[in-house]
Amino acid sequence: MGCRALLAFLSILSVASGLSVASERMVVQHSRPSAPAGFVSQGAAPATEIFSFRLALASNNLAGLQQKLVSVSTPGSSEFRQWLSKDEVTSYVQPSAETVAAFNTWASANSITPGATSPHGDWVSISVPVSQANTLFAAKFEVFTHPDIKSNLVRTLSVSLPSELVGHVDVIHPSTDFVRTSPRLASFPTHKGPTPPAKSCDASVDSGRITPTCLQAMYGIPSTPATQRNNTLVVTGFSNFFAEAADLSSFLKQFRPDIPSNTTFSLLSVDGGENPQGPGDGADEPNLDIQYTLGLATGVPIQFLSAGVHNATFEDFAQDALDIITFLEGAEDPPTVVSISYGSREDDFGQVFATKICDALQGLTARGVSVLVASGDQGARGATVNPNATDPCSENNFFPEFPATCPWATAVGATAGIHEKAANFSGGGFSIFFPSTRRQAVSGFLHALPKNFTGTFNKTGRAIPDVAMQGVNYEIVSNNVTESITGTSASTPAFASIIALINDRLIAAGKPVLGFLNPFIYASQSAFTDITVGHNSGLECSATTPAFDATTGWDPLTGVGTPLFDKLLAAALKA
Ligand SMILES: *[C@@H]1O[C@H](CO)[C@@H](O)[C@H](O)[C@H]1NC(C)=O
Ligand SMILES: *[C@@H]1O[C@H](CO)[C@@H](O)[C@H](O)[C@H]1NC(C)=O
Ligand SMILES: *[C@@H]1O[C@H](CO)[C@@H](O)[C@H](O)[C@H]1NC(C)=O
Ligand SMILES: *[C@@H]1O[C@H](CO)[C@@H](O)[C@H](O)[C@H]1NC(C)=O
Ligand SMILES: *[C@@H]1O[C@H](CO)[C@@H](O)[C@H](O)[C@H]1NC(C)=O
Ligand SMILES: *[C@@H]1O[C@H](CO)[C@@H](O)[C@H](O)[C@H]1NC(C)=O
Ligand SMILES: *[C@@H]1O[C@H](CO)[C@@H](O)[C@H](O)[C@H]1NC(C)=O
Ligand SMILES: *[C@@H]1O[C@H](CO)[C@@H](O)[C@H](O)[C@H]1NC(C)=O
């Protein structure tokens, strides 16, 4: 690993000089009546500005990949954990010759020189002036602002394809995707300043602080160092949020005095992503993620993956997510665990774009990569609260967040307290894009739900979270200040660390790594503590606002529950 996201040039494509060929028929690919709440148009995007677009070319056999992945990830299967090579994944994901030909013909007819392609050949970039993009895609690109986003997004409310590309091009990015916050942090500080001595988890832990020692005690996580070097855990970083080595060192001195305080992480850079180490450069989220992976996955090599911001004033979480996943797809020797503590409202991505990112996660998990994603910190309502509504809490529309809803991700919710309850902010629910692949596991919950929940969520959608872990008052050091921080983005690196430690033991025993986790998790529910108490009405609404409740068995606050290390390790070694 260590190179840019977009690698090979598509040499098979050539440029023809000449006329733009007006297509006979344009087919609307996606349109929305208006921008999502909060986005305001500032008028047409400048016609002559050259804009870079990514086009997703249809994969030739995703159904085949899915079938193969089900087979290699299902305990008891004859090819269980025989993870695929990069080339095997490419053979399913790459576009067909027919698709490539259709794209080439269109590009040359319009005098477009394609830029780079992605590792599996399913994304290609083009750079064209806004005016040409408006014609090519029957679009009207505008500049949009949003109070939560520092800069502008160039987007269109409708995007079309010429009929000869329908079925060959799946996504045009950017177009109709509006990711509300970029990124939406799944964490928030709950306490700053001097810290009482953190010993272990005592009875006051409901309002007390969580440390690595505390998590080790609660879940039986060993402190003995990992022995395998090619079992790498990657922590993803977005949009100029940086992890600081000095803060990590201070954290280890305070909270893991048994390991050398110079233990550190390495940097992976995508698109010129940086990780400056000056005073004030750190941010809570990456510091949390780095400190609770190095602090818990003792001895596991940890990498911080920083995505470059293409334009310092132009944040684009959706594109960063795509770049990071594309980068990982290109790795010959990918990490074994990826931890993602970011997400946003599912439909802000748009179905086609979310699906394409999810397909990429499918390819990664098929190679034996476990992908952990925070389930979100907005309770049952997700990041969906309409800013214009007089009382957002009165709206019973329950939505989960993406990429946690991708069926190939393992979504991590949050608990609180030594007698664990679901955290009231723990995100979870049912996807509007992705069908459920665990009908049986969630059927108990659905059957027990009162009738008045009908219509508040999509009961056939992929149900999240899958698992949970403590998520309240994690002690961290950020910009030289010790503070505590709360969110499913604390739970996520902690759970990722458990998976990395189990992988270490599996590799040492000569066995393949855990890879795509969900079938294993749902087949190993006795390795989890079922969390049965809690109500996820969120922090912005009152405790009595309608929301989901934790219950016996799977629920949309804590999934199947919180892990018991020894039991999960035993199940992994036996499977
Ligand atoms: C919210 O209010 C703003 C300003 O009044 C308006 O431009 C926008 O369209 C409204 N959004 C929705 C979803 O109602
Ligand atoms: C950490 O410090 C010890 C001495 O205190 C030294 O032997 C070791 O090489 C250092 N490790 C790194 C990664 O710098
Ligand atoms: C970033 O984007 C803004 C808005 O489109 C533009 O004004 C600015 O020139 C861009 N900056 C760079 C460095 O490209
Ligand atoms: C519910 O989820 C399914 C996928 O299982 C999707 O096809 C459907 O459009 C969703 N329905 C709604 C109303 O969101
Ligand atoms: C961090 O804070 C401590 C006091 O809490 C201070 O002694 C030290 O100089 C600070 N370090 C940096 C790099 O600011
Ligand atoms: C370690 O990585 C190499 C590739 O770099 C791979 O061939 C080997 O199988 C890996 N070892 C284990 C035990 O997974
Ligand atoms: C959510 O839980 C926190 C911590 O237990 C508590 O302080 C807060 O009051 C709760 N909020 C609601 C609305 O229940
Ligand atoms: C359904 O009714 C129960 C019992 O009155 C109530 O607790 C719950 O909040 C209601 N759910 C919704 C979605 O209104």
Which one of 285, 346, 504, 549 is the catalytic residue? 285
Q: Which residue has the higher pLDDT, 271 or 376?
A: 376
Q: Are strands 26-31 and 158-162 parallel, antiparallel or unpaired?
A: antiparallel
Q: Which residue has the higher pLDDT, 195 or 164?
A: 164
Q: Which residue has the higher pLDDT, 315 or 13?
A: 315
Q: Using CA positions, which residue lies closest to atom 2 of ligand 2?
A: 262
Q: Does 543 sit in the ligand 7 pocket, CB within 6 Å?
A: yes
CA within 13 Å, CB half, 505 = 19
Q: Does 416 sit in the ligand 7 pocket, CB within 6 Å?
A: yes
561 is in an annotated binding site: no
20 included as an active-site residue: no
pLDDT reported for residue 349: 83
**What CA–CA distance (Å, rounded) separates 549 from 558?**
10
489 included as an active-site residue: yes
Contact 81, 72 (CB under 8 A): yes
555 is in an annotated binding site: yes
The residue ranges of every structural domain in the chain are 21-173, 209-574
172 is in an annotated binding site: no
Task: Tell me how crowded residue 532 is: count the other CB atoms within 10 A of its CB.
Answer: 17
What is the distance between the terminal CA atoms of the chain, rounded to a whole angstrom?
30
- Measure 488 CA to ligand 8 centroid, in angstroms: 25
- Measure 229 CA to ligand 6 centroid, in angstroms: 9
- Assess whether pLDDT exceeds 90 at residue 229: yes
160 included as an active-site residue: no
Residue 330: phi and psi, rounded to 5, are -80, -10
Q: pLDDT digits over 325-383, tens only? A: 999 999 999 999 999 998 888 877 888 899 999 999 999 999 999 999 999 998 998 86
Q: Does 388 sit in the ligand 1 pocket, CB within 6 Å?
A: yes
pLDDT (mean) for 114-136:
95
Which one of 370, 489, 497, 537 is the catalytic residue? 489
pLDDT (mean) for 570-575:
94
- Measure 452 CA to ligand 8 centroid, in angstroms: 6
Identify the CA nearest to 93 among candidates 72, 136, 133, 63. Answer: 63
Q: For residue 108, what pLDDT band results from cuts at 50, 70 and 90?
A: very high
Q: For residue 496, what pLDDT band results from cuts at 50, 70 and 90?
A: very high
pLDDT (mean) for 260-288:
91
Identify the CA nearest to 96 among candidates 45, 54, 57. Answer: 57
Question: Phi-psi bin for 2: left (phi > 0), alpha (psi -120 to 50), beta?
Answer: left
Q: For residue 13, what pLDDT band results from cuts at 50, 70 and 90?
A: very low
Identify the CA nearest to 548 among candidates 539, 538, 540. Answer: 538
Which atom of ligand 2 sits closest to the CA of residue 264? 13
**What CA–CA distance (Å, rounded) separates 185 from 343?**
7
Contact 268, 234 (CB under 8 A): yes
- Measure 37 CA to ligand 1 centroid, in angstroms: 6
pLDDT reported for residue 130: 96
Q: pLDDT digits over 278-327, tens only? A: 888 888 999 999 999 999 999 999 999 988 765 444 467 788 888 899 99
pLDDT reported for residue 4: 27
CB within 6 Å of ligand 2 — which residues? 260, 262
- Assess whether pLDDT exceeds 90 at residue 17: no
**What's CA 306's distance to the chain center, in Å?**
14
% of the chain exceeding 70 in pLDDT:
88
Q: Which residue has the higher pLDDT, 115 or 21?
A: 115
pLDDT reported for residue 193: 52
pLDDT reported for residue 192: 54
* Mutation test residue for ligand 1: of 388, 390, 395, 397, the one with most atoms within 8 Å of CB: 388
CA distances from 132 to 25, 43, 138, 307, 548 (A): 17, 17, 10, 29, 48
pLDDT reported for residue 340: 95
Q: Does 470 sit in the ligand 7 pocket, CB within 6 Å?
A: no
pLDDT reported for residue 390: 64
Q: What is the DSSP letter of 96?
A: P
Question: Phi-psi bin for 271: left (phi > 0), alpha (psi -120 to 50), beta?
Answer: left
- Assess whether pLDDT exceeds 80 at residue 239: no
Task: Using CB atoms within 10 Å of the CB of residue 454, give its burial: 0 to 12 exposed, 13 to 18 middle, 19+ buried.
Answer: exposed
Average pLDDT, the chain: 88
Task: Tell me how crowded residue 6 is: count the other CB atoms within 10 A of its CB.
Answer: 21
pLDDT reported for residue 203: 42
Contact 205, 214 (CB under 8 A): yes
pLDDT reported for residue 195: 52
Helix (H, G, I), strand (E, B) or coil at 544: coil
- Assess whether pLDDT exceeds 60 at residue 211: yes
Q: Which residue has the higher pLDDT, 192 or 429?
A: 429
500's CB contacts (< 8 A; 6+ apart) are 226, 231, 233, 293, 297, 300, 336, 337
- Assess whether pLDDT exceeds 60 at residue 23: no
Task: Using CB atoms within 10 Å of the CB of residue 531, give its burial: 0 to 12 exposed, 13 to 18 middle, 19+ buried.
Answer: buried
Q: Are strands 481-486 and 528-529 parallel, antiparallel or unpaired?
A: unpaired
Contact 371, 315 (CB under 8 A): no
Window from 170-184, 225-239, 335-349, 518-532 with minimum mean pLDDT? 170-184
566 is in an annotated binding site: no
533's CB contacts (< 8 A; 6+ apart) are 421, 422, 550
- Measure 266 CA to ligand 2 centroid, in angstroms: 15
Q: Class of 209-574 per CATH?
A: alpha beta
- Assess whether pLDDT exceeds 80 at residue 125: yes
Sign for the pseudo-dihedral over CA of 546, 552, 553, 559: positive
- Measure 224 CA to ligand 2 centroid, in angstroms: 18
Window from 41-50, 191-200, 237-246, 249-258 with minimum mean pLDDT? 191-200
% of the chain exceeding 90 in pLDDT:
71
Contact 112, 126 (CB under 8 A): yes
pLDDT reported for residue 183: 43
- Assess whether pLDDT exceeds 50 at residue 19: no
Task: Using CB atoms within 10 Å of the CB of residue 272, give its burial: 0 to 12 exposed, 13 to 18 middle, 19+ buried.
Answer: exposed
Task: Tell me how crowded residue 49 is: count the other CB atoms within 10 A of its CB.
Answer: 13
**What CA–CA distance (Å, rounded) separates 429 from 375?**
9
Which one of 122, 247, 289, 347 is the catalytic residue? 289
- Assess whether pLDDT exceeds 70 at residue 419: yes
Contact 361, 325 (CB under 8 A): yes
**What CA–CA distance (Å, rounded) separates 568 from 467?**
12
Helix (H, G, I), strand (E, B) or coil at 255: helix
pLDDT reported for residue 202: 53
- Assess whether pLDDT exceeds 80 at residue 389: no
